[in-house]
Amino acid sequence: MIDKVSGIDVLQAVRAQRTESMIIIFTGYASIETAIEAVRLGANDYILKP
């Protein structure tokens, strides 16, 4: 069984391995809190799905 992970979880894992990677969060479940957290953790962009 595959555990569910969030985009923030993936962002943290990628940043831990490859700090030079460009990361764009593309989400249908956006909030101000997660957008701020994503940018704080190093996301290059945070895009809302229509």
CA pair distance 17, 35, nearest whole angstrom? 21
- pLDDT value of residue 1: 58
Tokens of 14: 């990628």
Residue 25 dihedral angles phi and psi, to the nearest 5° = -90, 125
Length of the chain, in residues: 50
Per-residue model confidence (pLDDT) at position 46: 93
Local confidence pLDDT in tens for the 50 residues of the chain: 578 888 889 899 988 987 788 889 998 888 899 999 999 999 999 999 88
Residue owning tokens 């764009």:
24
pLDDT of residue 44: 93
DSSP 26: E
What's the predicted TM-score (pTM) here?
0.75
